Structure formats: structure tokens, C-alpha cells
Structure 1
Amino acid sequence: MNQKYEKAKFSDVFKYSFGGLGSNLAFFLVMSFLTFFYTDIFGISSYVVATLMLISRFIDAFTDPIMGMLGDNTRSKMGKYRPWIIFGAPVLGVLIFLLFTAPEMSPTMKVVYAYVIYILYSLASTVVNIPYHALTPVLSEDPQQRTEIVAWKQGMGTVSQFVITILALPLVELFGGGKQGWALYGALIGIMTTVSFWICAWGGKKYDKVDVEVKKEKFNLKENLQLLACNKPMLMLMIAFGTDVLANATYSAVNMYYFKYVLGREDLVSPVATAILVGSIISIPLLPPLTKLIGKKRLYWFGSLLSILPLAVMWIKPTAPVIVLMSMMGAFGFVSKLPGNLGWAMLPECSDYAEWKFGKRGDGLLSSSLTFINKFGMAIGGFIASFFLGLVGFVANQDQTPAVINMIVFLRFGMPILGYIASLISMYFYEITDQKYEEIRRDLDARHQK
């Protein structure tokens, strides 16, 4: 494509990328440690945790698309999406702190507390994250720069991964360990999340503008939902992305259990997380050139396929030597990061497809759909882990039966393989190839010129 598009300044892209830090801090923290915190620190049964994760996603099924449409139809001097980020970020920060606070309560009140705080946290996350992701196509119309913007966002996500997967346990111990350590660590993450989103909103200030004097279009719910329901590429992306997230969420939810009960080596949590992180970091700068070389769809497909291999090795030999474990998880961190990053890079393509097909973009609505499927996959992964551990008789802080050990190994390595297989099938039907996208952009450019 020879068309010249307006691009965002690098300084603004860098500031906007801090949203990747804020968004992923909470994401990795909840995915990696919330189930463990609730069962082993707060003292709630795994069945209760599983039910909580499931119920909250039913709520998200309604609130996420509503938030997307609210963002698309917001008209203020601060823009469409930035007001939600600016005012929602501190609320989200406080709820992250409360999420990892374990007050002394009766068993019944513990369950009530967990339900109320987690659902409020999920709602606050929706209010902030959906407008944040909707800003990506607003910053730049250039397809290649959009991929670069996503790469920067996900690069900041690796900083979050480092802060959570590698520093969490040492910092919790530094803060006093137990309930006190987790509460202070939650407060730290809450503050970092708030500041990161404020910097992100600062980066989007120049681009997120609406003319408040122009008469607002009448809101049409049916027309808005059509952008999603009849958008086949978006639906296929949601399935592929959601099953990849489910794969990662399942193994993350039982990660601590694997090291504590299967290997008896909690000291390996941080080194293995480092290996995964290093693999992830290596993959990020390769994302733009690889997508340019073979296309987003093919790269997503091969990334999901190759993610299966190291998982299969560890499923066959879960107590392999440490060097094998480190190598396989490093390789997994590299290849699994490719589809994880590409989902957000492909989202603007689906917005362009909606404008091309239906005459309306719906950036917020489509972002909300991917954000919802992201949270849904994370919750279902957590639900599967908690439910099946309870099913085989898991009891925290004691020696586990062979049935529990086998279930932990399956959830850590086998279940994610099924998720990646499902994403392979879905991505096969994703119809926006490089050639198709060039056609879409040519048609849109011609319309815009008219």
C-alpha cells in the first residue's frame, strides 16, 4: 500500500504504552496469584473461588459491551476514551489493594468480601481497560505503526510480568510475609497501576478528540451489536485469543501448586518465571518484522502451534531436570508471546473491517469484546483449575494424593495444549489476510477522500 497515513509521535506512543504496564500488572497478579492467595492465605475453598470466577464473567458479558458502546458514544472536551481512563484508574488501584487484603472475618463473611471486592474490581477494570485498548487505532491509521504501538504496549507488559512473576514473592516476604506482605504488595501494585494509566491518557491527549459542538448521532443498539455479531473476523479472533488466554490462565492458576506440591521447589518459581520472561522479551522486537514478513494471521497460527511443543515435553516428564524445565519454559515464553501480542495488533484490522462492511468502526465496542474474552478466558482457566482441584480432593498446605498430583500436572501442561488446539482451528477461519486487508484499506481510503 502506497497510501501515506497520519502517524503518532514516538513520544506519545511511548507514553501511551504505559497503559500496557498498568493493564498487565493487575492481569498477571490476578492470573498468577489470586487463586493461591484465596485458598492458602485467605482460607477460602477452591470451589468458592471457582464459582466466583464464573459468576463474575456472566456480569462482564453485559458490562463489557455496554462500556464499549459508552466509550464510542462519549463526547467531552477530554475526548471519547480518556475521561474513563483518568477517573477510573485510581478506583481500580484501590480495588487491587483490597483484592489482596485478607481481613479477619468469619468464613461466611470471607466469601461475601471476596465476591464483592472481586466483582467491583472486575467492573473497574472494564471501565479503564476497554477505553485504553480502543485508543490504539485512534492514535494512528498506519497499519505498520499500529503493530509497533502494540509491540510497545506489550513490551511494557513484560515489565509487569517481571514485577509480578519474579518480584512478587520476594517483595511479599520483604513486606512482612503472609497477610501483611500481600496487602502491602497489593497497595504497591495499585499505585503503579493508577500512575501508569494516567501517563497512558497523557499520551493519547493529542489524538482522542471529538467536536462537542457537532450534533450527536442517535444511539442505535441493534446497529452497534451488528458490528460484532456479523463481524466474522472479529468473532474468530475472539475465539482464538480467548482459548490462548484460557491456556495461559489455567497453567498460571496452578503454577504455585506445581512448584509447591509436585516439585517441592518453591524456590524455582522466580528462576522459571525469569526464563519465560526472557523468552517473551526476545519475541517482542521481532513482532513487527515477522508480521511484515509472513503476515499476522500466519504468525498467530504458527505461534499457537509451536506453543504446544514445550508444554507436551513437560506433560510427559513433569519432574524433568531443572535445565530441561528452564529450557522448555523459556521456549514457551518466546513462542506463546507471539499470538498473545498479535491479538491486540489484529483488533484494529477488525475495526477497519467493520467500517468497510457496515460504515461504522465501533473501536470501543470491539475492544470491549476482546477485553471481555480476555477476562473470560482468564476466569474460565481459573475456574477449571479450582474446580478440578476440588474434584480430586485438594486440601491446602498438606501432602497431596497421587490423584491431586496428576491433576495439577494435567492442568499445568495438558489443559493449555487443548486451548492452543482450539485457537489453531479458529484462526484457520480468520479471513483477513494481508491481501484482503490491502483491499479493505484501499476502499476505505477512497471513501475518506470523497
Structure 2
Amino acid sequence: MSNLKQVESISDVQFKIADDERTLEIKLDQSDKDLAKEDLNDSKNELSFFEKICFGVAGLPYQAYFCAIGVFTTVYLLNNAGLPPKKTTYILFISRITDAITDPIYGLIVNKTKITRFGKMKPWIAVSIPLCAISYIMMWYKPESFSENQLFIWYTFWHSFQFTVITGYRIPHTAMTMYLSHSKKEREIITIFRMGFEMIGLLLALVIQAPFVSTDSNCIKLNTSSRFFFEEANETNTTDINMIDVISNWEKNKYTYIAIIMTFIFIAGTLPVVFFVKEKPELIKAVKEKDEIKKKATTLQELKRIFTFKPYLLIIGSTIFTTSSIQIIQNNLQLYFEYGYTAIKSYFMLSILTLLGCAILFVPFWKILMTKMEKNHALMIGNLLMIPLLIGVLFFKSNSVGEVLAFFLLAILAANCFTAAFLIPPALIPEALDAYYIKYRAKPDALFYTFFTVGTKIFMAIYLGISQEILDLVGYKTNVCSEFQSATLKSSIKYLISPTPLILLLFSCICMYFYPIDSKKAIENSELIKKINKRRENPAELFIVESTSELVTNDYVENEI
């Protein structure tokens, strides 16, 4: 190595890379190595296992809500609320656009929030919990006396309000990751805890709701066995008639009752993070510190920096493409079984359990794989494993043993994509934040986590609007079973669920191929941040800096990732 320099005070000295390789190496003396080792040992057990569980389980109810809304809302609005496809389109579009708009607003406000004695993120979570609970029940409740237009206003308001307040819960919860531990490894562990519980939340929502609504249309409700039951009961006593009233009341209000059950789960899952998980004030303050010679960036400057930061843009792009493809499948899967692959529509519940159950079982495998290979390459593999199923859904028709077996084998393979999509992108965000901090001496964590999902919401708002318009154009009939729907509708449902997700997954792979931060670079960034923080605490201490570039004074590190 050349250019070995010893510096007496480097509190306001930064590094600028000028050579072609654009590399930076820090050579630690023995005392620095000992200190780094002590820091590492001290940070290993900053969070107890109980705290990790409390933080992770708070992700379960959010995903349970989101999954139920994504999978069952369209069918509920069409068949139970009795709204036509055009009004359903407007409800879905307006609520998702509202969700997308409020995301950056929340991100900016949360990012500017001052630390309180309860922490920075926990007050937001505590306030959002009751609002989420109330709005979720209301969006599944149908006032009996309302006209069609009144129902349209009712559902538009409560859907939009639910997406707004759940954002006030989700963004602080995910951004809290950066304030719970000094250790990069431990932050990755609690992220995996959170994402693992979120996957359980998806499965739990389907286990609770799918058995009651998976074959939800009037022609199925009035099948031969149910008519026989009612005819027999009408010939018997008053007790049987009362039983009929109970069953009728359940059929009419079952979505509301299930929403109440889901709300109890939501409250039980979210309260532990409020009462038992504590943010570390020194981490919050460290994020807010700026170099004295650096001028504070305005909001517009911060946004410009974020949206010109290559690693983050590639993470966002990949996340939008992968998550949107999965959500398209979730939103259209019930319609696909009801009107597309009708030969096995009775297997809807089993197919959902196969996809999400296997996705959960694959978590340990993908957790190990993330340590054995680069995360971006692992996500590319996960994306590609979904493609065979997306091709297959275009051709499945019969209920023959071979075809049904092929469907479920491809579903098991595709479950890997669900696992990879849940675990890997969130694990990349802390790495991108570290790289951003090295470059700009700021960690806009709330904004990073905000824009992490906002693109997906905008895309899904547009896609759901288009899909409902397509249903209207091909003559979808509300509350009418597949045998009475047009052949055009049945083929359209297949094309709603397949080609678009396939193309999106390929674009996601392209983004990950060009992602620049590998595991070695991530570790180097983490160690450099430790040096920066220590330097601030002891500005007069000697450091040995060995670099292929010149040592210069600047407002921030200019090295590109």
C-alpha cells in the first residue's frame, strides 16, 4: 500500500476517492482492533430473545390484515356488497392511491419526529393501533339501509382510511430496526424475525378466512344440500327455524365477524412491541448528528439524494417488480379458481396453504442461503422459481391426477419466491442505509422504508383499476357462478394472473444483477461507520489511514458505491 499517513486530529477530515479503482481501506492499530472486538462482543446480546420475538410478532397482524384485504376484497365488494365492477374499480384505485400518497407524507413526518421519553417510533405505533382496529372492522361491514351509491362512499372512505392508518403503524415499526441495536448482524436477525412472522400472518389470515369464503357466491350458497336443509327445517319446529335465522345471519355478516376475530389478533400482536421493546436513544441521536462543517440538507435535497442513490434505486426497483407480481397473484387467485381453473376450484384453500405453508417452511433454508451467497443473487434465484407456475396457469384445465399434481408441485416450487421476496429486500435496506450514511452523513431511515413500498402501491392501484375494467368489459356478472359466465371472462382471468407477474419478475432479476453492494462491501461499510462514530467521540486520538487516494477535507465522503 502507498500513501501511509498519520493524522493528529481528523474530526473534520473526510476521504475522497480519486483513483480508478475507487477503493478505500482503513488500517486499524491494535487498540482499534481490540475496541472493535469489544464493541462486537457488547453488541451481540443487545436484544434478548423475548425482545426479538416481541418486535418480530408485531409484523404478523399487519400482514394478516394486508393479506385478507388483498385476497378477499375484490370478491367481497363484487359478490357480498353487490357493487358492480366499475364502482369496485374506483374503490380499489382511490384507496391504493391514497395509500401511496400518504406513505411519503408519513415518512417525512416520522423522519422529522423528535425523540420522546417513549422513543421515536413507538408513539406512532401506539396511536395507530386503535385506529387500524376500528377501520378494519368497518371496511368489512355493510350497512343494510344504504343504497349502492352510499355503499360506494362508505367503502371508499373506510378502505382509504385503513390504508392510511396502517401506514402509520408499518413505517415506524420497520424503521425501528435501526434504533434497536448497534450490531449489523443483530439488525439482520430481527429483520428475519419480523419477516418470518409476517409470512405466518399471511398464512393465519387465510386459515381464518378462506374456509368460510373460498367458495363465496350465491349459486354455491343455494346448492342442493343447503336447499334440502332449509326445506326440512321449515317442516319442523320453531327451534329449527331459529337455527335457520342464525345461519342466515352468519352468511350475511360473516365478513364482519371474521374481521372482529382478526382485530383481536391484531391488538394481541401489536401491543408487545409497545410495552416490551425499547429504542436506544444513543442510536437515534447518532443518526441525527451532523458534522459541524456540514450544512443541514433540506427535504428536497434529501429526496434528491435518495432518488439518485444507485443501490437504493435498484432495491426499490426490484422490490416493486417482485412484490407487485406476488400481489397480483394474491388479488386474482380466488377469481382464478372460481372462473379460470374451475376443475379444481374446491382446492383453493389447499393451494393457498401449500403456497404460504411451504414459504414458511423454506425460511430456514433461505436464511442459510443468504449467508452462503450474495443476497441479490439469491433473490434472482427465488424470482426464477416462480416462473414455471406462471406459465402453467395458462394451460391447466382438467382435474386429472397428473395435472393437479403438476399444479401443486409448481406451487411448492413457487413458494420459494414468496420466501425470498419477504426475507431478502428488507435485509438489503440496512446495507443501503449504511452506504448512504458514509456518503452523506445522514440516515433517513423512515424515508428509505417509506419509498421501499410506495412504488408497489402506485403500481398495484393502477393494475387493480385496469383489471376491474377488464372484468367489466368482458361482461362479468355479479353473484353469478362460472358456468353462467362467458368464455371470454374465463380466459381473461388466466391472463390477469400470469403474463404480467412473469415480466415483472424478469425486470426484478435485472435490477438485482446490477446491485453494487456485495457482502464484503457491506462489512467494510459497517466497520467504517464504527470508526467514524469513534472518531467523533475521540477527535484527538491517533488514526492510521492507509489509502490509494489522497486525504482531503470535504463535507461528506465522495466515494461512489
Q: Give the TM-score normalised by the residue count of structure 2.
A: 0.74
1:297 aligns with 2:376: yes
Which residue of 147, 150, 158 corresponds with 1:109?
Answer: 150
Q: Does 1:49 align with 2:122?
A: no
Residue correspondence of structure 1 range 26-105 to structure 2 within 5 A: 26-75=65-114, 76-104=116-144, 105=146
Q: 1:384 to 1:245 in 2, by over 3 A?
A: farther
Q: Pick which of 119-128 and 223-232 moved more.
A: 223-232
Q: What is the aligned counterpart of 1:435 among 517, 520, 535? A: 520
Is 1:232 matched up with 2:273? no
Among 190, 197, 202, which residue is 2:275 paired with?
Answer: 202
Q: Sequence identity of aligned pairs in percent?
A: 21
Q: Specify which of 321, 330, 336 is matched with residue 258 of structure 1.
A: 336
Structure-2 change in CA distance of 1:393 and 1:226 (3 Å):
same
Match of 1:379 in 2: 461
Tell me how far 1:108 sits from its aligned partner.
Answer: 0.8
Q: How many residues align?
A: 449
For residues 156 and 31 of structure 1, do their structure 2 counterparts lie closer, same or farther at Cα, with a shift above 3 Å needed? same
Letter in 2 for 1:37: Y
Partners of 1:357 and 1:14 in 2: CA distance: 33
1:281 & 1:108 partners in 2: Cα distance?
A: 42
Q: Deviations over 1:351-388 (max 9, x none)?
A: 21221121111111111111323433543443343232
1:204/1:228 CA distance change after superposition, 3 Å: farther
In 1, the alpha carbon distance for the partners of 2:459 and 2:353 equals 24
**2:436/2:442 contact within 8 Å kept:** yes
SS in 2 for 1:315: coil
Q: Which residue of 1 is the match for residue 257 of structure 2?
A: 184
Alpha-carbon separation, structure 2, partners of 1:199 and 1:216 = 30
**Equivalent-residue separation in structure 1 for 2:113 and 2:248 (angstroms):** 42
Match for 2:490 among 405, 414, 417?
405
- Of 324, 338, 354 in structure 1, the residue corresponding to residue 420 of structure 2 is 338
Deviations 1:15-39 (A, max 9, x none): 1011211210111011111111111
CA distance in 1, matches of 2:208, 2:530: 47
Please say which of residues 185-194 and 34-43 is displaced more in the overlay. 185-194
Change over 3 Å in CA distance of 1:343–1:224 after alignment to 2: same
Q: How does 1:353-368 map to 2 (within 5 A)?
A: 353-368=435-450
Q: Contact (CA 8 Å) 1:247, 1:416: kept in 2 or not?
A: yes
- The Cα of 1:424 is off from its aligned counterpart by 1.4
Unaligned runs of 5+ in 1: none
Q: CA deviation at 1:144?
A: 3.0
**How far off is 1:216 after superposition?**
9.8
C-alpha contact 2:97 2:461 (8 A) present in aligned 1: no
Using the TM superposition, give the Cα deviation of residue 9 of structure 1 relative to its aligned residue in structure 2, in angstroms.
Answer: 2.1
Question: 1:180 Cα shift?
Answer: 0.6
The Cα shift of 1:437 comes to 1.7
Specify whether residues 284 and 358 from structure 1 end up closer, same or farther in structure 2 by C-alpha distance, changes over 3 A only.
Answer: same
Contact 1:133 1:367 in 2 (8 A): yes
Q: Secondary structure in 2 aligned to 1:135?
A: helix
In 2, Cα distance between equivalents of 1:262 and 1:387: 17
Are residues 239 and 47 of structure 1, via their aligned partners in 2, closer, same or farther at CA, if it must alter by over 3 Å?
Answer: farther
Alpha-carbon distance between aligned partners in 2 of 1:52 and 1:447, rounded to the nearest angstrom: 50
Whether the 8 Å contact between 1:237 and 1:427 is mirrored in structure 2 is yes
Q: What amino acid is the match of 1:248? A: I
Deviations 1:139-178 (A, max 9, x none): 2343333332222112212321222223313356999643
Kept in 2, the 8 Å contact 1:148–1:288? The answer is no
Q: How far did residue 319 of structure 1 move?
A: 4.2
Does the residue aligned with 1:127 lie in a helix, a strand or coil? helix
Q: CA deviation at 1:188?
A: 1.5
How many angstroms apart in 1 are the aligned matches of 2:500 and 2:207?
24
| Cα separation, 1, equivalents of 2:112 and 2:191 | 24
Alignment equivalent of 2:298, drawn from 212, 220, 225: 220
Paired amino acid for 1:111? F
Name the structure 2 match of 1:446: 531
2:467 aligned with 1:426: no
CA RMSD of aligned residues (A): 2.6
Kindly tell me: are residues 187 and 373 of structure 1, through their superposed partners in 2, closer, same or farther at Cα, counting changes over 3 Å?
farther
Is the 2:99–2:160 contact (alpha carbons within 8 Å) kept by the matching residues of 1? no
What's the offset of the Cα at 1:89?
0.9
Q: Does 1:138 align with 2:179?
A: yes
2: CA distance, partners of 1:234 / 1:241 = 10
The letter of the residue matching 1:409 is: K
Length-normalised TM-score, structure 1: 0.92
In the superposition, relative to structure 1, how do residues 388 and 363 fare at CA in structure 2: closer, same or farther (>3 Å)? Answer: same
Contact 1:99 1:117 in 2 (8 A): yes
Q: Over residues 40-61 of structure 1, what are the superposed CA-to-partner deviations in whole Å (9 max), with x where a residue is unaligned?
A: 1111222323333333343344
Determine helix, strand or coil for the equivalent of 2:278.
coil
Aligned to 2:244: none
1:269 aligns with 2:342: no
**Structure 2 runs not aligned, ≥5 long:** 1-32, 217-246, 291-295, 536-561
Distance in 1, Cα, partners of 2:331 & 2:421: 20
| 2:56 aligns with one of 9, 17, 30 | 17
Equivalent-residue separation in structure 2 for 1:148 and 1:37 (angstroms): 37
Larger % of helix: which?
A: 1
Structure 1 residues 380 and 239: alpha-carbon distance in aligned structure 2, compared to 1, 3 A threshold = farther
Residue 394 (structure 1) aligned with residue 476 (structure 2): yes
Q: What amino acid is the match of 1:44?
A: L
Name which of structure 1's ranges 421-430 and 217-226 shifts more when overlaid on structure 2: 217-226
Aligned to 1:306: 385
Whichever of the two has the greater Rg, that structure is 2
Q: Is the 8 A contact 2:86 2:469 kept in 1?
A: yes
Q: Residues of 1 paired with 2:315 and 2:391: CA distance?
A: 25
Higher relative contact order (CA 8 A, sep 6+): 2
Question: For the structure 1 residues 363 and 285, does the alpha-carbon distance in structure 2 shift closer, same or farther, using more than 3 Å as the test?
Answer: same
Q: 1:261 to 1:316 in 2, by over 3 A?
A: closer
Partners in 1 of 2:348 and 2:524 — Cα distance? 48
Superimposed CA distance per residue, residues 212-238 of structure 1 (whole angstroms, 9 cap, x where no aligned partner): 9xx999783124323422222212111
Q: Any conservation in 2 of the 1:151–1:285 contact (CA below 8 Å)?
A: no
Decide which moves more: 428-437 or 276-285.
428-437
8 Å contact kept, 2:437–2:443: yes
Name the amino acid aligned to 1:27: F
In the alignment, residue 205 of structure 1 is paired with which amino acid? Answer: K
